[in-house]
Structure 1
Amino acid sequence: MARLVYLMGASGVGKDTLLAAARSRHPEWLVAHRYVTRESGASENSVALSDEEFAVRRRAGLFCLSWEAHGLCYGLGIELEAWLGRDAIVLVNGSRRALSDARCRFGERLLPVLVTAPEALLRQRLLTRGREGPEAIEARLARHRQLTASLPEVVRIDNAGTPEASLAALARLLAARCVP
């Protein structure tokens, strides 16, 4: 049964690590990349585009979803719809900002999942990553609290432990939710 597994969560919660683990251990799940208007980090599955390239692709209708956050543009390509048309399980690194659009576009095929971790661990991960200063990190943590509170109905995966434990939790969730 086709399912778009729409992972959301604060920066630093480990969505990219979870997606990388899924890709390596579950080739039957299709892990989609995002298009983003910045260079990608080594752990990210994304395609870097200039602002102009992104705008051209958006105008051409090459994104099934797109949104803006933190001064950047993000998009998910229309290839997702072809994959879902083949009854695939597709995993994406999504955003709460585009969740409403995702619900409208994908309906019952959408499975929103909130990836979480304790705030102290998130803070440490963000500090270790070194992309932002303390004030920006605290702002991200505040958004994490808002995100968690705003989506009480969305299933959660605690990503505080090992990637293997989080991947096992995701596999159990998909086994329960992706049967025809």
Structure 2
Amino acid sequence: MTTDRRPGAFVAVVGPSGAGKDTVMGRVRDRLTDEARFVFVRRVVTRDPNGGEDHDCLDPAGFAAAAAGGAYVLSWQAHGLGYGIPAAYGRMADDGAVVIANLSRAVLPAARARFPRFRVLEITAPPAVLAARLKARGRESDAEIEARLARGDAGVTGPDVVSIDNGGALEAAVDAAVGVLRGL
């Protein structure tokens, strides 16, 4: 019997600011460190390195040239920045790895079209938890936080979406994410 499924998978991690995507995925990465089939993407971003996300940096002109040259399996613009997933990660998924990347919801259609085995891990939290976390980060004023929450970042839908509530115990969210990934 033949199958049209490729052995690997691509997993997009999405969710609103303050949901704890990076925290959850950092703990998931720690748990899966000895399992070679799981690969966590290091994105390319047109932003200087900072204390947040671990990423590679390119200036906007270098990023545009790299994108035009096919350097990314997925790329997008958000919040005035360019984001790219290096093409090597696409080949890894094609060759059997489970590749996990923080993506923008705007690029999900392109990712779904590119990867036959695709999942979305939507990390969520209740609005009050999001507000408290955003305030603790100190990057936005109270008015900006209120506006962000009022925007109501709508969740994603589809049969490939698994929502994980990170409003309670962190380990519960980590356990749920690890279970989804190991199930692929």
Normalised by the size of structure 1, how large is the TM-score?
Answer: 0.87
CA deviation map 1:45-97 (0-9, x unaligned): 32222112211211111111111111111111111112113311111001111
Matching residue of 1:174: 181
Alignment match of 1:53 (pick from 43, 62, 82)? 62
Residues 152 and 5 of structure 1, relative CA distance in 2, 3 Å threshold: closer
CA displacement at 1:23 relative to structure 2: 1.8
Alignment match of 1:30 (pick from 34, 39, 42)? 39
Tell me which amino acid in the other structure corresponds to 1:125. R
Inter-partner Cα distance in structure 1 for 2:106 and 2:49: 20
Residues 2 and 74 of structure 1, relative CA distance in 2, 3 Å threshold: same
2:19 corresponds to 1:13? yes
Gaps of 5+ in 1: none
Matching residue of 1:164: 171
Tell me which amino acid in the other structure corresponds to 2:131. R
CA displacement at 1:152 relative to structure 2: 6.2
Tell me which amino acid in the other structure corresponds to 1:95. S
> Between Structure 1 and Structure 2, which shows a larger proportion of helix residues?
1
Inter-partner Cα distance in structure 1 for 2:144 and 2:88: 34
SS of residue paired to 1:147:
coil
Question: Which residues of 2 match residues 24-173 of structure 1 at below 5 A?
Answer: 24-27=30-33, 28=35, 29-106=38-115, 108-143=116-151, 145-148=152-155, 150-151=156-157, 153=159, 154-173=161-180
Matching residue of 2:3: none
For the 8 Å contact 1:9–1:147, the answer to whether it is kept is no
SS of residue paired to 1:128:
helix
Residues 36 and 112 of structure 1, relative CA distance in 2, 3 Å threshold: same
Residues 100 and 142 of structure 1, relative CA distance in 2, 3 Å threshold: farther
Tell me which amino acid in the other structure corresponds to 1:93. N
SS of residue paired to 1:113:
strand
Identity of aligned residues (%): 39
Normalised by the size of structure 2, how large is the TM-score?
Answer: 0.85
SS of residue paired to 2:47:
coil
Instruction: Please give the root-mean-square deviation of Cα atoms over the aligned residues, in Å.
Output: 1.8
Gaps of 5+ in 2: 1-6
